[in-house]
């Protein structure tokens, strides 16, 4: 599934402000409801770039050509109406909207509390300690969780790779080998639907990286994912990304515990 707006936001968050890709992405975001009749030349003139820059931008964000970009823009209106529903959450009896929302978040975290994830997390953290090359990725809010994990693990001397730009994530995954551990944060479990839209994943399963997915999707089962950390969630606006943040914190707590245990054994 290709989400144009998420890709555009990721582009302006990662590209220099004076780059052509930044200018084009910003223009599309600001004018997306009025672009269905724009030609390639209209785009180029509006962004003060060449026609070839527009074509290159399309390829950089994972589209085949300008025609594919126009198709995504045409689909945006329908997807935009659907996306508005993500802000719905279960109301709780409270005196204010803020208290109702907070109670909703707490209620969802109770479902996480009742999830049995301890053993799965222990196996994951053991692998994080064992592998020299470790990476973590997610989409938008989930990528922020990966960034936090990167920062927190480095305090214990573990260097984890991640990147905001989705096309760079895809490139890393496609070029990773069996000596690499990759952690995917994906509440919906649809992360790889975006990564492998038009390509066959991992032609040689023996040479692929080891992959963990942290998700609330209990039905997904992909042949190239080695292990899952599954948790329960209501999957509404008040449920994301809080469980993933807590799980990221638990990974760091467990990793610290492993280091302490190994240091104690060494001291003996």
Query: How far lies 221's CA from each of 188, 189, 225, in Å?
Result: 13, 9, 8
CA–CA separation, 135 and 8 (whole Å): 23
Give the pLDDT of residue 103.
85
Question: What is the rounded average pLDDT of the residues 112-125?
Answer: 96
Give the pLDDT of residue 93.
65
Most confident stretch, 11-25, 61-75, 115-129, 153-167: 115-129
* Range of lowest pLDDT (105-109, 201-205, 217-221): 201-205
Peptide bond into 241 cis (omega under 30): yes
Give the pLDDT of residue 9.
84
Is residue 233 within 8 A of residue 111, CB to CB? The reply is: yes
What is the tens place of the pLDDT at every residue in 161-213? Answer: 998 878 788 889 999 999 999 999 999 999 998 778 767 778 777 789 999 99
Give the pLDDT of residue 79.
63
Is residue 43 within 8 A of residue 32, CB to CB? The reply is: no
Tell which residue, 65, 7, 22, has the closest CA to residue 40: 65
Q: What is the pTM of this model?
A: 0.77
Would you put residue 47 in left (φ > 0), alpha (ψ -120 to 50) or beta?
Answer: alpha
Tell which residue, 30, 15, 32, has the closest CA to residue 165: 15
Beta strand 133-138 with 180-185 is parallel
Most confident stretch, 68-72, 197-201, 249-253, 257-261: 249-253
């Amino acid at each position: 599934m290709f989400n144009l707006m998420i890709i555009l936001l990721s582009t302006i968050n990662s590209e220099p402000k004076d780059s052509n890709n930044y200018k084009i992405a910003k223009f599309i975001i600001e004018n997306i409801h009025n672009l269905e009749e724009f030609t390639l030349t209209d785009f180029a003139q509006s962004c003060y770039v060449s026609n070839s820059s527009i074509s290159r931008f399309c390829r950089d964000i994972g589209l085949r050509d300008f025609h594919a970009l126009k198709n995504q823009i045409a689909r945006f209106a329908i997807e935009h109406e659907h996306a508005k529903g993500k802000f719905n959450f279960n109301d709780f009896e409270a005196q204010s909207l803020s208290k109702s929302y907070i109670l909703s978040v707490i209620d969802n975290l109770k479902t996480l509390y009742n999830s049995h994830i301890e053993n799965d997390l222990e196996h994951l953290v053991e692998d994080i300690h064992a592998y020299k090359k470790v990476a973590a990725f997610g989409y938008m809010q989930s990528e922020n969780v990966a960034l936090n994990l990167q920062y927190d693990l480095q305090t214990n001397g573990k260097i984890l790779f991640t990147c905001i730009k989705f096309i760079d994530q895809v490139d890393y995954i496609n070029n990773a080998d069996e000596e690499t551990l990759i952690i995917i944060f994906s509440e919906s479990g649809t992360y790889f639907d975006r990564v492998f839209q038009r390509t066959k994943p991992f032609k040689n399963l023996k040479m692929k990286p080891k992959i963990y997915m942290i998700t609330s999707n209990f039905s997904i089962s992909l042949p190239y994912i080695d292990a899952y950390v599954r948790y329960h969630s209501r999957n509404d606006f008040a449920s994301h990304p809080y469980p993933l943040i807590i799980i990221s914190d638990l990974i760091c707590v467990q990793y610290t515990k492993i280091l302490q245990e190994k240091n104690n054994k060494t001291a003996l």
